[in-house]
Structure 1
Amino acid sequence: MTTPLPIGTKILAGSFLTSGIVHLVRPDLFEPLMPSALPAHREIIYASGVAEIVCGVGLLTRQRWAPIASATLLLAIWAGNWEYALKVQRSTRASTPHKVGAWLRVPMQVPMIRTAWKSRQLPDLTTSD
C-alpha cells in the first residue's frame, strides 16, 4: 500500500503546475519580477516555467530528485522575490497595496521550501521494494 501524499505536497505540486503553465502562457506577467542583472528575461521565464512543471510532476510522482530540485528552485525564486520587494519599496510610483503584495511574496516561500524539503521523507515510487 502506498502512503498518500501529504496535503502540503499536493498543494505545492499544484502551485508549481499552475505557475509553470502561467509562465509559459503569460510570460509578460513575470517580466517585472526579473532582476535587472539577469540577461535573457523571456528565456529565463520560460525555463523557470518548465522547471516548475517538472518539479510539480516530480513531487506528485515521488521522484527521488524532486524534493531537492523543488527546494532549490524555490530558493532561487525567493532571492528574486527579495530583490523585487526591495525594488518596489524604493519605487515612488508603486502603490501601497503593490508594495505590501511584493513583501508578502517573501515569507510565503519559507513554508513552500520547508514542504519541498520535508517531502524527501516520503517513500520513493520509482524504486521497487
Structure 2
Amino acid sequence: MTISSSTKVLAGIFAVSGTIHLAKPDVYEQIMPSWVPRHREVILGSGVAEIGLAAGLLAPQTRELAGWASIALLLGVYPANVKMAMDSTKTRNPGFKVAAFGRLPLQWPMLKAAYAATRGA
C-alpha cells in the first residue's frame, strides 16, 4: 500500500520535533506539567519516541503499529500543550499566545493522520 501525504507530513513533524527534543530539551521543560516527574528524562524519551515513530510511519511493515503508537503519544503530550496555552495567558507576548493556542487544534489533523496510518495509509 502506498503512503498517504498526511502520513508523510506526520512523520516529518515527528522527525523535526524529536530532533529538537534531543538537541534543545530546555525548550520543552517550561511547558511540562508539574505533576510529570523527571522532566528532562521524559523530554528526551519523547524525542527518541518521535524519531522512532517517524521511521515506523514510513515503513509499510510497521506503519499500522506506529500509527497506534502515534495516537498514544499525541494524546499523552496534549496536557503539555494545554498547559502551554494556559501559561501564555499570563504573558504579554502575542506571538507566544498565538503559537500556544494554535498548537491545540493542530493536534486533531495529526491524530487523523495517525489513525489513517493504522489502516496502512
Check whether TM > 0.5: yes
Q: Is the 8 A contact 2:7 2:113 kept in 1?
A: yes
Cα deviation 1:8-52 (Å, max 9, x = unaligned): 100100111111111111111111121122121110100000110
Structure 1: 4+ residue segments shifted above 4 A = none
Counterpart of 1:117 in structure 2: which amino acid?
A: Y
Q: Which has the larger radius of gyration?
A: 1
Distance 1:75 1:87 in 2: 19
In structure 2, stretches of 5+ residues that fail to align are none
Cα distance between partner residues in 2 of 1:51 and 1:59: 12
- RMSD across aligned C-alpha pairs, in angstroms? 1.3
Question: How many angstroms apart in 2 are the aligned matches of 1:122 and 1:55?
Answer: 14
Residues 54-113 of structure 1 show CA distances to partners (whole Å, capped at 9, x for unaligned) of 111110013131111001101112222012211221x1x341221121000100000001
Residue 4 of structure 1 deviates from its aligned partner by 1.9
Match of 2:58 among 57, 60, 64: 60
Following the alignment from structure 2 to structure 1, what is the Cα–Cα distance between the partners of residues 101 and 17? 19
Q: Are 2:6 and 2:113, in contact at CA under 8 Å, matched by a contact in 1?
A: yes
Point out the more displaced range, 111-120 or 33-42.
33-42
Letter in 2 for 1:106: L
Within-5 A mapping of 1:1-20: 3-20=1-18
Match of 1:127 in 2: none
Please give the secondary structure, in 1, of the residue aligned with 2:30: helix
> Which runs of 5 or more structure 1 residues have no equivalent in the other structure?
124-129
Q: 2:80 is paired with a residue of what secondary structure?
A: helix
Q: How does 1:1-129 map to 2 (within 5 A)?
A: 3-62=1-60, 63=62, 64-89=64-89, 91=90, 93-122=91-120
TM value normalised by structure 1: 0.86
Q: TM-score, normalised by structure 2?
A: 0.91
State the AA in 1 paired with 2:11.
A
- % identical aligned pairs: 39
C-alpha separation in 2, matches of 1:58 and 1:47: 16
